[in-house]
Structure 1
Amino acid sequence: MPSYPSPIPAPIYDSDESSQHSNDSSNYLSSTFNQYTRLSYSPKFNLNTTNQILPISINFDDNEDNFININTTTPTKILNSKKSKKRKHTNNNVYEYQTPNQSPYTRRKNLDYVQQQQITIQTPKTQRRSHYKQNQSSTNNNNSSLTFSNLININPFKTKHHYYTRLVAKKQSLLIPSLKNLFIQRYEQEFHYELCLGYGEYSYVYLCKNRLDGLNYAIKISKNSLIGTCYEQQAWREICAYASLTTHENLIRYYSAWIENDGKFFLQLEYCNGGSLDELIEKNRLNNKYLNEDILQDILHQLSDVLTFMHNNDLAHLDIKPSNIMLCYNINNEILYKLTDLGHVNQISLCQIDNDGDCRYLPLEILQKSNINNLYLDKCDIYSLGLTLYVCGTNYIMPKQGNEWQQIRLNISNYLYTITQCSKQFNELIIERMCNIDPKRRPSAYEVSLIKKKLKIYFVCC
């Protein structure tokens, strides 16, 4: 019986195994059926967990089932093609993989790639999805493998970047271990309590003697546990600020810090034998005494010097007031005025305010935060220093709120009276320049230190 060419055109195969097909309709139907069965039943194979490259034998004969045999394991058909294509675990530590519906050429290409690279078969979509999970698991494993010997924090005031983005901040936060892993016991073992020097809203300051060296230290202890509270980062930043600013004589010297098992923060600081400037002002109020201009100029010179040091290190104090200025008497009865309480320190270049200081001594722009991008944090310290000097010279009690508080910040030159025991030039420097409502018109800390020298020259000439 003669054969006639089929009117149906022969299909185009993407397989390299596709040879010349006859135009016979029976051959065409049989090849179409074989191709359909190949696409409808995905191959299934078993892979051992060894790292050796295994020879793979592939059989694509029409008379046998379509499977991929590795290590002569028994082939099995997939009964349901809609099952999940994820990896399945068996009890014999053998992993079963199921490839997606592919043509013979694509299967051959993927299997060759697997054999060369020694990786598991994954579709591109599965690879993209698992890439993020692998990174997450690696970071979790790194965090879980942390021990006490390799837990080290990063000081935010010492790490310098030529640029600061959210990515840099995120990388720094990932490297900072949890403070819960840094608990140690030191206070009762190393120090002996002497007396209470003072207290604030969140902490006590005790005079303690070290059991080993026999010297006195000021130990600052938080009243309650700060772990997990909103004050945890503030206490940690104070420790980092003390550690990064330890080379100036007008700053309280920092020795060490730790966290006890109860979650309280401990700071070992220098003990100042003269008390605070606020205590001196209270004594003057009771005895009706005032500090003269020479003492006020000495305070101005020393504090402007330490503020110049801090501002050059891109840090602003933001909580300058009489209670944060300590007096330390030397052997020659010389007084050093030292700045303390660095819990509100912020970086000037970032123009960010995490925590406000005492509202009695802060300028109006930092409390309103109307234009946070144009904040001059270094000039805020100058304003607070000016009010501190005014209180030292007049024993004035600064208000916390009300009309008097607003008048000091809006019309200070007309509202406050002058310091009678001081010269006109010194009054103008404090009231009109340092406490000016416009931060741009306030002098810098370095300019204030130079002004003090000019005042000395002026008095000598007179």
Structure 2
Amino acid sequence: MLDASAPMDYGDEIDLSQQLSQVCLQSPLLLSHSEEESADKFDVGTVNLADPENPSLDFLCTPDFITPVEQQFSTNLDNKENSTGLRSPRALTPVRNKRLKHDTVHTKPSWRDENMRRQSPVSIQNPFLLEDTNLPQKMITSAKITEDEWEQTFISIYRHDFHEIREIGHGNFSRVFKVLKRIDGCMYAIKRSRHSLRSTVERRQALTEVQALAAVGFHENVVRYYTAWFEDEYCYIQTELCESNLTQLRDADPNVSKETSLLEIMRQMASALSAIHSKGLVHLDVKPDNIYVLNGVYKLGDFGRAVRADGSMEIEEGDARYMPLEILNDDHSQLTKVDMFSLGATIYELARGLPLPTSGAQFQSLREGKLSLLPGYSLTLQNIFKALLNPDASARPSAAELLNHSVFHRGLARVSSLDALEVTEKSL
């Protein structure tokens, strides 16, 4: 055994350092029998290599030149093998090494970030805008939306953004409220579904009105659409606020039944239907309750039953009092002419002064084109009624053809001449 007090020469120090290095680098499990014997011949004496607190350990052991600085095993956090999930037993996996030190910082989103974060809501394809080629490819139809994708949790947009003033209307499927938008201080109408839309079918039906309004876009004679959203299983649609509908106006103002007023309503509604039909849509629910008034302008609203004009969508009939015979017999070959019949029935009801029959002989006579004479109205207007209520759908005029009728141009020419006369009198 070495004596720590005995003097050593320079050669002995070299031999001691070499032997200690061999002891540090060699594992006892890998030593052969002969190597063990040679190792037994060397006794380190008072030096305890197993003691981690021994300050002489760093001095006695040489640096580790065997383990490379850059490990061969990839420990990139962007590797899918490092994602959470079931792992193989630790004994079958490679040795865990220290994380690599990179000289540069990568700012590209990792695979983990892209797949573990909350995904954005789905984009729904508008069936009324199929011809638009600029739409993104990753869109789904309302028929493919799952229950989980319908469910959303967020702060109430209705309560946060709007102040409810009062209810201004209601129907079988919805209620309409007059609201004040908090951020701009303007009045709007909010249409909310009457009952919670628990099933996917009900939500698709509510979504149809939203998509139809958005597809039509802005038109002077169509109720302007702003936005819509689903909240707590209810559908909310924000539109412009109108003063009243045609039914309410008829009850409040008898002058609506005058021929000049009827012609103006017919002209503006024909303009609205012409714009809608040019977009490939049909309304299928034209009636006084769905025609609104704002500053003397008549606007068509409530697109809950709107479909494509080509008949590719499921059709739900509107109010039977304003429906032609072919739609009641499931003939959907000329859907645009259905709207023209409904427009004729609406104006005819205003001129008649009585609600249209819901059944019986008068109901059938109206659909056969047998109209009673209307005293006090011109023959021209009554001929327009007969044309719009013609039992043959192909014989009814289109919205564009109705707009070109001479009765509307004569009225416009008369108004223009009166304006010119007023200007002349003022100049005098």
Question: TM-score by structure 1 length?
Answer: 0.60
8 A Cα contact 1:390 1:419, kept in partner: no
- The structure 2 residue matched to 1:276, chosen from 245, 249, 258, is 245
User: Is the contact made by 1:434 and 1:442 (CA closer than 8 Å) also made in structure 2?
Assistant: yes
**Alignment-derived partner of residue 267 in structure 1:** 237
What do the CA deviations read for 1:245-288 (whole angstroms, capped 9, x no partner)?
1221111111111111x201111110012x0001122235xx6x
Question: 1:440 aligns to what?
Answer: 394
Q: Counterpart of 1:205 in structure 2: which amino acid?
A: V
So what's the TM-score if we normalise by structure 2? 0.64
Rate the CA distance shift 1:156–1:197 in 2: closer, same or farther, 3 A.
Answer: same
Equivalent pairs counted in the alignment come to 306
Asked if the contact 1:351/1:377 (under 8 Å) is kept, the reply is no
Check 1:453–1:402 CA distance in 2 against 1; reply closer, same or farther (3 A cut). Answer: closer
What are the residue-to-residue correspondences of 1:308-327 with 2, within 5 Å?
A: 308-327=274-293
Is 2:286–2:322's contact at 8 Å kept on the other side of the alignment? yes
2:198 corresponding residue in structure 1: 227
Of 389, 405, 409, the residue aligned with 2:363 is 405
Q: CA separation in 2, counterparts of 1:152 and 1:192?
A: 29
Q: Is 1:157–1:241's contact at 8 Å kept on the other side of the alignment?
A: yes
Structure 1 residue ranges without an equivalent (≥5): 1-49, 52-88, 95-143, 163-167, 330-334
Which residue matches 1:236?
A: 207
Q: Does 1:217 align with 2:188?
A: yes
Q: How do 1:30-429 residues align onto structure 2 when only pairs under 5 Å count?
A: 147=118, 149-160=120-131, 172=141, 176=145, 180-182=150-152, 184=154, 185-228=156-199, 230-260=201-231, 262-273=232-243, 275-283=244-252, 291-329=257-295, 335-350=296-311, 352-369=313-330, 371-372=331-332, 375-410=333-368, 412-413=369-370, 416-429=371-384
Contact residue 192 and residue 208 of structure 1 kept, 8 A: yes
- The whole-number CA distance in structure 2 between the counterparts of 1:317 and 1:380 is 9
Alignment of 1:20-31 (within 5 A): none
1:418-450 CA deviation, whole Å, 9 max, x = no partner?
3323210110111x2100001010000000000
Measured against aligned partners, the alpha-carbon deviations of 1:333-374 in whole angstroms (never above 9, x if no partner) come to xx11000000010101135442111111011111121x44xx
Tell me if structure 2 keeps the 8 A contact 1:305–1:449.
yes
The question of whether the paired residues in 1 share the 8 Å contact of 2:189 and 2:239 is answered with: yes
Of 293-302 and 221-230, the range deviating more from structure 2? 221-230
The residue identity in structure 2 corresponding to 1:200 is: G
1:183-235: CA deviations, max 9, x gaps? 54211111111111110001110101111111111010111111315322110
Distance 1:190 1:440, change over 3 A: same
Contact 1:205 1:219 in 2 (8 A): yes
Question: More displaced, 390-399 or 205-214?
Answer: 390-399
Structure number with greater Rg is 2
Shift of the 438–145 alpha-carbon distance from structure 1 to 2, 3 Å rule, reads farther
Match of 1:73 in 2: none
2:169, 2:159 → 1: CA distance?
20
Structure 2 letter corresponding to 1:270: E
CA drift at 1:91: 6.3
Q: Following TM superposition, by how much is the alpha carbon of 1:296 offset from its aligned partner in structure 2, in angstroms?
A: 1.0
Contact 1:290 1:395 in 2 (8 A): no
CA contact (8 A) 2:228 2:238 kept: yes
Q: 1:417 to 1:265 in 2, by over 3 A?
A: same
Cα RMSD after superposing both structures: 3.3
Letter in 1 for 2:401: E
